Homo-oligomer: A and B are copies of this chain.
Amino acid sequence: MTEPKGEHALIDWIRRRTGEAASVPIGPGDDMARVRLGEPDALLTTDTLLEGTHFRLDEASPRQVGYKALAVSLSDCAAMAAEPVAAVAWVALPEDARMTFAEALFAGLLDAAERFACPIAGGDVTSWTGGLAVGTSVLGQPAGIEPVRRGGARPGDVLLVTGRLGGAGLGRHLAFVPRVAEARRLARAANLHAMIDLSDGLSTDLGHLLRESGVGAEVDAPGVPVSPDAERAAEADGRTPLAHALSDGEDFELLLAVSAEDAARLARRPPLGNLPLSAVGRIVQGRGAVLLSADGTRAPLAPAGYEHFRGKGTG
């Protein structure tokens, strides 16, 4: 359930229309929905990859597209520190697609399914005159802890990020590792107040976390872990590596908020082996995020994600 890029107006409209269903304790607007279904509750997320928007077939093989289609939903599981159980997949195939193309696509889905122990339980394959579209819905369950939501960050919390950010479009976005195991390791090592996966970029996804939590944040520019890909991307387009790290998206790393004590403990005993866990800022009272540069200047850190309805006077 990648937060629809900028479709807040639509999400808010849906929330108003649906109200609260007793059978859905967590509804639209978090990484996964939580649904009452006996014991334990079920967690459910869905994601869509669209040709031209999320991948291009001249740079991505069908196998990579299949892998990514499941990995993005598994990343939502990670964002809740949940355990994936099974998935369903759907594919809208271009009319001229051959059987070998469809097989390669499903081989990629099955790669991710095997690697992250989330079997493909069913699906739907249809052809049409349009481009390639692939989606998955992943069913998960709480992994021995309460699912971590977006809305629990509190003033004084430290913001942490896994991995390094930016430049994922150079190729990393097709082969990233959803942080399913890492999220559960973090949840065992600390009390995670809030978490989200970085699908739309740190600036945008931090905005989701802040809005759901009703708080603000200060981000320390020197603390943001910049990927070597962000530096390559910066060389190519003249923007700064930091700008890429803050706004490129598709990193599928985790952004989390923990108490200062827990942050100190995690720094003393890094729970993720070689994967960096960087303190990038702190939660403050208020609204929105501010970027603090090394020289002490403050600037608003606005979400950089594309917003479909924003340009139309409706969002």
Contact = CB atoms under 8 A, between A and B. Distances in A.
A1 B124 contact: yes
Contacts of A162: none
* Size category of the binding interface on chain A: 35 or more
Contacts of A309: 98-99, 102
Contact of A106 (B10, B37, B86, B120): B10
A42 B45 contact: no
Contact of A119 (B23, B93, B122, B135): B23
Contacts of A137: 44, 46, 88, 137
Main secondary structure of the interface of A (DSSP, over half): mixed
Given A37-B141, A128-B53, A141-B38, A46 B133 contact: no
A35 interface: yes
A176 to B, nearest CB: 18
A4 B106 contact: no
Interface in A204-227: none
B86 A33 contact: yes
A235 to B, nearest CB: 29
Contact of A44 (B2, B86, B110): B86
A47 B312 contact: no
B126 A5 contact: yes
A27 interface: yes
Interface stretch (A13-21, A150-158, A257-265): A13-21
Given A90-B46, A126-B50, A24 B312 contact: no
A128 B92 contact: no
Contact of A30 (B99, B120, B122, B308): B122
Given A18-B110, A90-B47, A130-B130, A37 B122 contact: no
A309 B2 CA distance: 32
Interface string A161-172: 000000000000
Nearest to A119: B21
Given A18-B110, A37-B37, A99-B315, A121 B28 contact: yes
17 contacts: A5-B126, A7-B125, A10-B99, A10-B102, A10-B106, A14-B106, A23-B119, A24-B119, A27-B120, A28-B123, A47-B124, A48-B124, A50-B128, A52-B129, A53-B128, A54-B126, A88-B137
Contact of A125 (B10, B38, B52): B10
A42 to B, nearest CB: 6
Given A7-B125, A23-B119, A33-B88, 13 more contacts: A4-B124, A21-B86, A23-B85, A24-B121, A37-B38, A37-B40, A37-B141, A38-B38, A48-B124, A50-B130, A98-B309, A99-B309, A100-B314
